[in-house]
Amino acid sequence: MNIEQLIKEKCPNGMEWKKLWEICEIKTWKGLTKEDAIDDWEYPIISWWVNPLGYYNEYNRGENTVTIARAWTAWYVNFITTKFWVNDKCFSVCPKPEFIDKINSKFMYYYLKNKENDIVSLKSEWSVPTVNTQKLIPIQIPLPPIEIQNEIVNILDKFTELEAELEAELEAELEARKSQYEYYSDKLFSNMDCEFKKLDDCLELITYGFTNPMPDTDEWPWKLTAKDVKDWKINFDTARHTDKEAYDKLTLKCKPFIWDVLLTKDGTLWRTAVVETDNICINQSVALLRVKKDLILPEYLNCLLSSPTYQAKMMADVWWWTIKHIYITRVNQMLIPVPSIEKQKTIIELLTKFQTYMNDISEWLPAEIKMRHQQYEYYRDRLLSFN
């Protein structure tokens, strides 16, 4: 029997509705901080965020309890399946004794979760967004017969389980493809029967950029202060300059050319990119590698340097100061395989096809997960609307 038939049979005169405070005790408890928590203790401290604040050696609420954050994320509805400690930044919502047999706490959780946006609208706009007990008084909740509540919970539990399984499968598929790409990339570069050369011997130029003011010296490199680089906005994933106005103000000792290879050497280490536009500039955290094209192709060098084998070689030689740093003088001494240009083209073609496939999956995966979540929300709305 479906839900609509159950409602017609069990609620011929319409659905009963109750104020949340009429059927539940809405309480907070003594506030605990991270200093009160110890990881080895058993009971989670439920506060204002998704994850526990820490763990405590006592509990003040039992299993299968609904909570509503009342400060900071003053809307987040959660369902805690274990004994826990609720602190002063969170409400616990527990059925009153006379309603314990009339309401399924998981049903109440699903209904309130579906109304999170309504709870958001109740928060105060002080320095810390807060929902107090009085603000929760107007909230109403349907009270269909327990058989209907249990059936709705069963359906939504199955949906939730299926959604979680699908997300896990999709993410595992993406991870498997990444591992496969890394495996074949490593196979290509670690077992090459060809001549090996120092990276420096394969380059016309290896340097990095800096910002105004230009120093009156030919000494290189020139160290910069934080003030000098405050206008830089460089994206380390693509090595593209994103601030045209700042770009126009800058004078660079070395302007990248199309097909130069870029390598991040400070902070976010060992990201690589091939320059594909002339509207680009680099700061002192990015090294520029200009290849001898009769010896090595830029795309080949980019694939090589981004492979796990060569990333591991460089990451083993990272220096720590205030941030992580790779010395370019050490990079240019690294031995790399230099096969024929034709063999390089074959490797580029293989890895580019694989990378395109990877990118397609990376774009498709979040869209698929979003679609499944919207599907879940649609059916949850239908089940809990009771119109």
Calculate mean pLDDT across residues 162-191.
83
Calculate mean pLDDT across residues 40-55.
89
Local confidence band at 277 (pLDDT 50, 70, 90 cut-offs): low
Residue that wins the pLDDT comparison between 373 and 295: 295
Check for a shared fold between 17-143 and 195-338. yes
Local confidence band at 153 (pLDDT 50, 70, 90 cut-offs): very high
CA angle 265, 266, 271 (to 5 degrees): 50
Identify the sign of the CA torsion 59, 64, 66, 69: positive
Query: What fold, for 195-338?
Result: Adenine-n6-DNA-methyltransferase TaqI; Chain A, domain 2 (3.90.220)
pLDDT digit string (tens) for 298-320? 999 988 988 888 877 777 766 76
Joined tokens for residue 44? 């989670």
Joined tokens for residue 270? 């060992």
pLDDT digit string (tens) for 97-126? 999 999 999 999 999 999 888 887 777 766
CA distance 240 to 209: 13
Local confidence band at 280 (pLDDT 50, 70, 90 cut-offs): low
What is the percent of the chain where pLDDT is above 70? 80
Mean pLDDT over the full length of the chain? 79
CA distance 377 to 369: 12
Backbone torsion region of residue 108, taken as left when φ is above 0, otherwise alpha when ψ lies between -120 and 50, otherwise beta: alpha
The answer to whether 141 touches 22, Cβ cutoff 8 Å, is no
- Comparing 141-145, 204-208, 367-371, the range with the smallest average pLDDT is 204-208
Domain positions in the chain = 1-14+144-179+341-387, 17-143, 195-338
* Model confidence at 183: pLDDT above 60: yes
Whole-number pLDDT of residue 77: 92
The answer to whether 241 touches 285, Cβ cutoff 8 Å, is no
* Model confidence at 218: pLDDT above 80: no
CA distance 128 to 300: 53
CA distance 199 to 301: 9
Residue that wins the pLDDT comparison between 272 and 343: 343
* Model confidence at 245: pLDDT above 50: no
Whole-number pLDDT of residue 73: 65
Whole-number pLDDT of residue 279: 57
Residue that wins the pLDDT comparison between 15 and 201: 201
Task: Output the 3-class SS for the chain.
Answer: CCHHHHHHHHCCCCCCEEEHHHHEEEECCCCCCHHHCCCCCCEEEECCCCCCCEEECCCCECCCEEEEECECCCCCEEEECCCEEECCCEEEEEECHHHCCCCCHHHHHHHHHHCHHHHHCCCECCCCCECCHHHHCCCEEECCCHHHHHHHHHHHHHHHHHHHHHHHHHHHHHHHHHHHHHHHHHHHHHCCCCEEEEHHHHEEEEEECCCCCCCCCCCCCCCCCCHHHCCCCEECCCCEECCHHHHHHCCCCCCCCCCCEEEECECCCCCEEECCCCCCCCCCCEEEEEECCCCCCHHHHHHHHCCHHHHHHHHCCCEECCCEECCHHHHCCCEEEECCHHHHHHHHHHHHHHHHHHHHHHHHHHHHHHHHHHHHHHHHHHHHHCC
The answer to whether 239 touches 288, Cβ cutoff 8 Å, is no
Local confidence band at 240 (pLDDT 50, 70, 90 cut-offs): very low
Query: What fold, for 17-143?
Result: Adenine-n6-DNA-methyltransferase TaqI; Chain A, domain 2 (3.90.220)
Selection from 290, 292, 202 nearest residue 254 by Cα: 290
Whole-number pLDDT of residue 254: 46
Local confidence band at 322 (pLDDT 50, 70, 90 cut-offs): low
* Model confidence at 212: pLDDT above 60: no
Calculate mean pLDDT across residues 25-45.
88
* Model confidence at 168: pLDDT above 80: yes
Selection from 310, 198, 207, 300 nearest residue 257 by Cα: 207
* Model confidence at 337: pLDDT above 90: yes
Whole-number pLDDT of residue 268: 67
Strongest mean pLDDT among 29-38, 257-266, 360-369: 29-38
Residue that wins the pLDDT comparison between 335 and 286: 335
